[in-house]
């Protein structure tokens, strides 16, 4: 199959699945863990997140992702790779009802990357930039197409999904992004150890988490942990926890209709005033007005 036909077939498969399964926010989770199709019928506002390590294959339209002062623009035929749990601000910049934005997103499996790196005899590498954009490799697109075809064959999922997800990771490691992805998978690396602390933060962000407990999870001294954590995520552990809280509070208000005060207490704030102040600093509007604007934009796009 030539590359153009392959890309058209992958785009058609992703479009079919998104039309049938996308949520009002445009996210269509698949039965394959960590694999989703994103669809948007119009350009979006700014989306704040602490992204997990992932691969995003853009199939149609265009998107912009900012990490600090660095901005990445990418469109159909490109892949975005995020190699660390980092704060990003993203925006779909090209989409329409006749030609929606479409992308395929796969969470990267650090354990699988480590296993493959050993089998492929890949040595450790120094940490590099946490975000990269490159043209999508033909082998990666082919593996993605077979994953989407598998999604349409539920009876085959239990038998074939593990090997196809493994193959997708193999081609990512073997392709343009391989050098960067390798930093995730080396056993005992700082990236792997910080990932343990990040998992603890994600699971318990609403509770107080002393830095000593996080450092112990990473197997580091508190001072070394703080240094490695900031190098990996661009944030201190406290800033990371705060952003997780604010992002989850925003989701509670926009997706579940929570009030600002109930969202604040649900994510661990003891003061609504402090929550409101920090929310406005991050998102640019007070909680109530921001949630109302987002719900209005989602309703208009539906």
Q: What is the pLDDT of residues 24-35, one digit of tens each?
A: 889 999 999 999
Res 186: pLDDT: 67
Q: What is the pLDDT of residues 50-69, one digit of tens each?
A: 999 999 999 999 999 999 88
Mean pLDDT value of segment 116-141? 85
Q: What would be the CATH architecture of the domain defined by 3-185?
A: Sandwich (2.60)
H or E stretch including 135?
strand 131-135
C-alpha span between 9 and 21 (Å, rounded) = 18
Q: What percent of the chain has pLDDT over 70?
A: 94
Name the DSSP class of 124: P
pTM: 0.87
- Which strands form 86-94's sheet, in the order they lie side by side? 47-51, 86-94, 62-67, 70-75
Per-domain boundaries in the chain: 3-185, 190-234, 239-301
Give the CA distances from residue 281 to residues 33, 267, 276, in Å, rounded to whole numbers and listed in that order. Answer: 34, 17, 9
| CATH code linked to domain 239-301 | 1.10.10.60
Which residue reads 């623009």 in tokens? 73
Q: What is the pLDDT of residues 68-99, one digit of tens each?
A: 889 999 999 999 999 889 999 999 999 999 99
Asked if the model's pLDDT at residue 185 lies above 70, the reply is: no
Give buried/exposed letters for 82-111 (b at 16+ CB in 10 A, else e).
Answer: bbbbbbbebebebbeeeebbbbbbbbbbbe
H or E stretch including 62?
strand 62-67
Pairing of strands 78-82, 131-135: antiparallel
Place 198 in a pLDDT band, splitting at 50, 70 and 90. very high
């Amino acid at each position: 199959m030539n590359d153009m036909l392959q890309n058209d077939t992958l785009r058609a498969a992703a479009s079919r699945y998104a039309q049938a399964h996308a949520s009002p926010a445009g996210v269509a989770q698949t039965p394959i863990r960590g694999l989703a199709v994103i669809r948007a019928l119009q350009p979006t506002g700014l989306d704040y997140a602490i992204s997990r390590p992932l691969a995003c294959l853009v199939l149609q339209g265009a998107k912009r992702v900012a990490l600090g002062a660095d901005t990445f623009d990418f469109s159909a035929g490109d892949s975005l790779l995020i190699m660390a749990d980092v704060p990003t601000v993203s925006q779909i910049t090209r989409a329409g009802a006749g030609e929606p934005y479409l992308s395929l997103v796969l969470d990267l499996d650090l354990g699988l990357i480590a296993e493959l790196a050993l089998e492929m005899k890949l040595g450790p590498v120094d940490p590099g930039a946490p975000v990269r954009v490159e043209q999508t490799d033909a082998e990666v697109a082919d593996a993605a197409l077979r994953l989407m075809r598998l999604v349409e064959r539920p009876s085959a999922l239990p038998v074939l999904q593990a090997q196809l997800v493994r193959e997708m990771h193999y081609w990512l490691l073997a392709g343009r992004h391989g050098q960067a992805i390798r930093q995730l998978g080396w056993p005992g690396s700082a990236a792997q150890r910080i990932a343990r602390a990040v998992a603890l933060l994600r699971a318990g962000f609403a509770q107080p988490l002393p830095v000593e407990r996080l450092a112990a999870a990473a197997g580091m001294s508190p001072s070394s942990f703080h240094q490695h954590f900031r190098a990996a995520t661009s944030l201190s552990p406290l800033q990371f926890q705060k952003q997780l809280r604010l992002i989850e509070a925003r989701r509670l208000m926009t997706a579940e209709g929570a009030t600002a005060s109930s969202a604040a207490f649900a994510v661990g704030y003891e003061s609504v005033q402090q929550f409101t102040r920090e929310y406005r600093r991050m998102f640019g509007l007070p909680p109530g007005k921001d949630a109302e604007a987002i719900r209005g934009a989602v309703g208009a796009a539906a």
